[in-house]
Amino acid sequence: MSTPHNAANKGDIAPVVLMPGDPLRAKYVAEHYLEGVTCFNQVRNMFGYTGTYKGHDVSVMGSGMGMPSIAIYSYELYHFYDVDAIIRIGSAGGLAPQVHLRDLVIGQGACTDSNFAAQYGLPGTIAPIADFGLLRAAVEAAEKVGVPYHVGNLLSSDVFYCKRSASEAWAGMGVLAVEMEAAALYLNAIAAGKRALGIMTVSDLVLADGSLSADERQNTFTQMMEVALETAISA
C-alpha cells in the first residue's frame, strides 16, 4: 500500500525509523551504517531506506523541514506502515550557555510556538514529551559513544529567522536548543499510541558565535547517527 508521499509497500519499512530532516542525511546513514539496503521511497526525493544494523532491521527516511512536513511523513509511518518508533536525528541551534557546537541535545520535551496541537481540541495546553524508554536508551548510548550530551526541553519553532528577544526568552526558561520538527513528531506519536524521540546535534549557537557549514551538517553528524542507531536496536 502506497500513499501520496511514500511508495513503500507494507513490510518494506522496519518497526523503528530514523528520521533526519535532510533526505541526503538519510542516504548517508543507509550507505555508511546499514547492510543489505533497499530503497523504499524516492517520491519528492524524500529518500527512504531499510537495511540491518548489527543484525536488526532499521529504516531511515527524510522528513523535510518544519512541523507540517514531518507531521505528514510520521503520521503515515505510524498509521499505514506499522512503525512503532521514530527517532528524529537533526540539527538544532543551541540556546543554553552550557550547550556547545556538536553537542547532542536529547529532547525530553518539545516546547513550541506552533498551533499544531489545536487539531486535538484539548481544553488546555499539552506538553509534548518523548518516550522514556527511547530517552533512557539514547542516554546510555551517548555515554557509550562518549559524546557530550544534554537532556531537556527543545523548542520546535515555526520561525527560522526570529527576533533575538524571542530566543532569549526561551533560553531564560531553560530551553536547551531550537529546531523545527520534534513537537509535531511527539504529538503524532502520542496520538497514535506510538513512540518518538528527538536527538539533535548542535549546528549553530543562536545567542553566541559559531556555526557548522551545510556540508558538515549533511555528512559529519556521525556520533548522533551512532547514538540513534544504538538506541533503535536497544529500546
Residue numbers annotated as active site:
204
Q: Is 187 exposed, middle or buried (0-12, 13-18, 19+ CB in 10 A)?
A: buried
Other beta carbons within 10 angstroms of residue 218's beta carbon come to: 16
Beta bridge pairs of residue 59: 17, 50
Lookup: cell for 108: 525530553
* β-pairing verdict for 48-53 and 35-41: antiparallel
* β-pairing verdict for 149-156 and 104-112: parallel
Phi-psi region of 152 (alpha: psi -120 to 50; beta: other; left: phi over 0): left
Lookup: cell for 110: 518539545
Q: Tell me which residue of 14, 17, 135, 116 sits closest to 71, measured CA to CA.
A: 116
Beta bridge pairs of residue 104: 149, 201
**CA–CA gap between residue 116 and residue 147 (Å, rounded):** 32
